Chain A
Amino acid sequence: AAGVIQSPRHLIKEKRETATLKCYPIPRHDTVYWYQQGPGQDPQFLISFYEKMQSDKGSIPDRFSAQQFSDYHSELNMSSLELGDSALYFCASSHGLYVDTQYFGPGTRLTVL
């Protein structure tokens, strides 16, 4: 079965640079969630989209923005990167906003030097 695809899988950036993470949900899934997992921590919710509209916002810094496109893929844009942004970034998708299980992608490991 098709899974959530994230690219790139690994990314190394310098402080103050920008980064764009991409997420391709499972086919027919219309809801995307972004989570950030710091080293040794549990995942923290950043932002979510349902049917191309932002549905909820968590602890996403103002330096970050995201959107969901007409084909349901989503991009997380990160600017003015800081050392503390180094983390594993997960995208998860589900079918619908209210019922279904969230299936996670493999994650993008971002390292900020």
Chain B
Amino acid sequence: AQKITQTQPGMFVQEKEAVTLDCTYDTSDPSYGLFWYKQPSSGEMIFLIYQGSYDQQNATEGRYSLNFQKARKSANLVISASQLGDSAMYFCAMREDTGRRALTFGSGTRLQVQP
């Protein structure tokens, strides 16, 4: 079964606008972490933001915030004030804290910021 689902293969947003990238997950582990990574066309994988399953507040890192809805098992990434440099592939990933420690990734969303 797919553990991480990203239903938006591609998204467009105008420069300076906000955009939400969707991510839903599936786990029976009570303790887990959710991550978002950015992969520009150059290929590197850049860590953006982390949310722990027991965190009471949504994580924020500069222009990035994570809209964590535990009951709905969703962890959407919100990028405010989009910039041209935000154009990239964005991956949602999960780490379950029992058993395997490695990350399981979604299929990614390609974001294009238009001037």
Q: With the chains together, A103 CA to B46 CA distance in Å?
A: 8
Q: Looking at the assembled complex, report how far the CB atom of A29 sits from the nearest CB atom of chain B, in whole angstroms.
A: 13
The answer to whether the Cβ of A38 comes within 8 Å of any Cβ in the partner chain is no
CA A98 to CA B97, docked complex, whole Å? 7
* In contact, A106 and B47 (Cβ under 8 angstroms): no
Is B68 in the interface zone, CB < 8 Å from A? no
Residues on B with C-beta less than 8 A from A88 are: 43
Q: How many residues of A contact B (CB 8 A)?
A: 25
Count of inter-chain pairs, beta carbons less than 8 A = 56
> Within the complex, which residue of A42, A58, A105, A106 is in contact with B102, where a contact is CB–CB below 8 Å?
A58
Query: Is A101 located at the chain interface by the 8 A CB criterion?
Result: yes
Q: Are A43 and B103 in contact (CB under 8 A)?
A: yes
**Closest A-B pairs by Cβ, 6 of them:** A104-B45, A45-B102, A42-B105, A106-B44, A43-B105, A56-B100
